[in-house]
Amino acid sequence: MNVTDPIRRVARRQPRDPAVVDGDRVATYDELWSAVTSVARWFRGRNLAPGDRVLLWIPNGFSFLAVHLGAMAAGLLSIPIKAENGPAEFHFAVADAAPRLLIADRALLARLPEGPPLDCVAVDELPLAAGLCVDDEPEPVGGDHPATAIYSYVFGEGRPYAAVLTHAALVFLAESCGPFFLYDRGDRLLVLLPMLHVFALGNILPALYCGATVFVGNPSRPRAILDLMTAHRITHMPSVPQILDQLARVYVPGRHDLSAIKEITSGADFLPAATHERIEATLRAPIFQGYGMTETCPLISNPPGGDNRFGTLGIAIHSRIDFRIADSTGAEARPGTVGEIELRTPGAMAGYLGAPEATSRLVRDGWVRSGDLGWVDDRGYLHFERLLKPIVNISGNKIDPREVAATIEKMEGIESATVSGVTVPSPTGIPDVILKADVQVDPRASVVERDIRAHCRTWLAPYKVPQRVELRP
């Protein structure tokens, strides 16, 4: 049960159909599968065996998909990290995951002051060229064989944990999301979110399994996104509330036509009902709010059609998926009662990589604790109340304040730092959260606010740089 098996079957059935469109590059299914197979063969040639770990530091695009899928086709554990990550996050992943090999983009490697601390190959050195015509069978692995490990922030301990997802979990993800969101051959998926995340993967895999086309988009250019959606008749798109609000603000009737859309799924952050209604009315396209975790894969959503209920997170997308509300004792709460959302699914993680104690804290009796508060209405729809876990959510990006504070405290002249999320007024209807740092400075040091931001910008992902800094002598 290799997660890439269905992609091979599609490549044999419709080799000339477009699989991935990345800017000017259009890769057919034959070309995609040839690249995946060639990468898998290349990994084997470097004496990597099933179960070995490979760290990927590659931006969105055809190359990322080919290498990520190629590693899984070879039976390796693919551990992708965000392209936005800075040296601090990179070095943590290397120390925590202990990979045998790093595949990285050259521009990202340039962010490392002293170079990579392990065997590294630039992604442009891998066999990804078109016309390779290679068709190997994927490594035969059991369903419980690890496929990928994705870093997630839950506990607020100043570090993330890598959730290990098996081949069976990813196949279940694809086979449950595909029918629920009406994927079919010839559909066109636009991916703006990091491809490594389960939210994006929950759309990419069903798209590739049924013979659809995956388009790579740039989320920082809303007008270009709408033009692309119009020109290519995009049918599916996972997104976050903040991006959808930007699209609604630059949408021009007559110029933009989103009538081909089957579904836009909003996730990673809560979309209030009034804002949801405004954006959907402006874009003239159906939007459905979904919910899930890295540790469980996306598994709850409003369904396409008349059962879309604004302001709710939706229902389970498959009969084998369950959710419940737990009270403070861990017992199931009555309908309408606010408590912690707990999830149970065949797509749940096998555990955190090398962290059984952290796994046992999150999973109890087969239920995964979300760290979110919510409640269930009389129709069985899940509602979000607020975050329970000590994590800050900024535009769908999860931030551990202790990680940012620890980075600031490594600066010379800093005695201590406390970081928190602050909600500020927003005209969009979407709660606007910024990161605030309270920093105790050595009276003898000449540290100013811009020094704090520059230090964080050097070592961390840009969205972890505090927007507000208060210095205290």
d(CA 243, CA 265): 12
- pLDDT of residue 131 exceeding 70, the answer is no
Which residues is 150 bridged to in the sheet?
Answer: 163
Domains and CATH numbers, the chain: 5-376 (3.40.50.12780), 400-472 (3.30.300.30)
Does 298 score more than 80 pLDDT? no
Alpha-carbon distance of 304 to 79, in angstroms, equals 33
Mean pLDDT of 337-343: 97
Coil, strand or helix: which one is 11? Answer: helix
CB atoms within 10 A of CB 50: 14
Amino acid at 437: A
- List the 263-266 sheet strands across, edge first: 25-28, 18-22, 213-216, 188-191, 236-239, 263-266, 287-293, 297-301, 315-316
Place of tokens 């559909």: 187
pLDDT tens sequence across 412-457? 999 999 999 999 988 888 889 999 999 999 988 889 999 999 999 9
What SS3 state is found at 246? helix
Distance CA 372, CA 324 (A): 12
Interatomic CA distance for residues 204 and 209, integer angstroms: 9
- pTM (2 d.p.): 0.96
Query: What residues form DSSP beta bridges with 440?
Result: 416, 472
- Mean pLDDT, range 44-58, rounded to an integer: 97
The whole-chain average pLDDT of the chain stands at 95
Strand partners, 264: 237, 287
pLDDT of residue 387: 93
Q: What is residue 454's predicted lDDT score, i.e. its pLDDT?
A: 97
Q: How far apart are CA 132 and CA 27, in angstroms?
A: 12
- Checking if the pLDDT of 236 tops 80, the result is yes
Best CA proximity match to 255, nearest among 281, 225, 279, 220: 225
> Which H helix or E strand runs over 31?
helix 29-45
Q: Which region, left, alpha or beta, applies to residue 263 given φ > 0 means left and ψ of -120 to 50 means alpha?
A: beta
